[in-house]
Structure 1
């Protein structure tokens, strides 16, 4: 874990940047809600339909609507959706918690079958993009080792939103911990094994 995440952090710039796919916000110690997904979590026919719609009617799908559509598709559990398997879930959980309090503050998180949510504040000197890269790089190697395979695990990009105020923060925390309930995977947030709601409940026991 240390070898993968101990990269020289980029200095947070307080501005938008992009690797050519999606814009990202680096603003130092500013809370952000984010999610990243498995490479096969978006069915090809849906990608084609959205691409056609964006090409012909780009104004019909504003960024917020695109995000909501994607989250709805992810909650349907397409693809191999192996993140919550007993041999893999703990790897994701360990990666998220490993530098909590050192490189970032992890306020809420949830490992869904084919994607991961987190509410996080990067600490001074640690860029969000580098933190997420560390999570994805470490877990991809471990997942491929366990599944005895090679190749891409994660979709190249992640999706992030800057938290605007306290209400937005609490709404984001609530959404993340309620995601398994919303996806009809459990009745109560604490019943979902790989989430901050469950982790808090286990810590009290």
Structure 2
């Protein structure tokens, strides 16, 4: 199976078709300048350290220590990332404006059944959480990569929302946070975290009361 490694923005992203992911991305002005700079630098350093260690074929135990450091740093990064997103600040647009929310809602469901399997998503005023599985191949037999799906969704929604808001320029923060779902417990926790985001923020009492929420419970 092809494995694809991206360094298009601030953080490396390792992706393989047929995997499940928890993804978060936000508006371009939702993250203050340099707010996550230290975490980004430390993660980039650790990923480079791991890359060199794999090239040099060092002992597996040391590789595992590096991977553990990466995992811990990613958790710190996401915690800081999430805290910044929930600060009460005025952003360039409100994603929960009904017209904007509908565009994102439909875009996240667009590839359902052809390239992805949706599990849950939540559209907040300045960010989006998404739990999904990419298919190994699309109808033409081409491998499906998360990066390509996200690029398509962000590009389309940016263009359409800019039309509604009568603005031009970038809409989305260049990078995103994504993590590969490891097992069923992780999958369940990711869904619960996603749909309870507006509840945790004190905006509604139940996940089903939030218009930007969507989820579908599967037994598989």
TM-score, normalised to structure 2's length?
Answer: 0.76
Structure 1 unaligned regions, length at least 5: 1-11, 201-205
The structure number with the bigger radius of gyration is 2
Residues 92-117 of structure 1, C-alpha deviations (whole Å, 9 max, x = no match):
00100111111101111010110011
Q: Over aligned residues, Cα RMSD in angstroms?
A: 2.3
Indicate whether 1:62 and 2:77 are aligned: no
Matched position secondary structure for 1:93: helix
Contact 1:33–1:117, Cα closer than 8 Å, also in 2 = yes
- How big is each residue's C-alpha offset from its partner over 1:155-185, in whole Å with a ceiling of 9 and x where there is no partner? 1111100001110000001000011111111
1:24 is the counterpart of 2:13: yes
Q: Does the 8 A contact of 1:83 with 1:89 survive in 2?
A: yes
TM-score (norm 1): 0.81
Which of 189, 205, 217 matches 1:171?
189
Q: Report SS of the residue matched to 1:84.
A: coil
Q: Is the 8 A contact 2:10 2:40 kept in 1?
A: no
1:160 to 168, 174, 178: 178
Distance in 1 separating the partners of 2:211 and 2:157: 18
Q: For residues 43 and 99 of structure 1, do their structure 2 counterparts lie closer, same or farther at Cα, with a shift above 3 Å needed?
A: same
Q: CA deviation at 1:154?
A: 0.3
Q: Partners of 2:41 and 2:170 in 1: how far apart?
A: 27
Aligned residues of 1:76 and 1:183 also touching (Cα < 8 A): no
The answer to whether the Cα contact below 8 Å between 1:30 and 1:122 also exists between their aligned partners in 2 is: yes
Residues 1:36 and 2:39 aligned together: no
- Equivalent residue of 1:184, what SS? coil
- SS of aligned partner of 1:196: strand
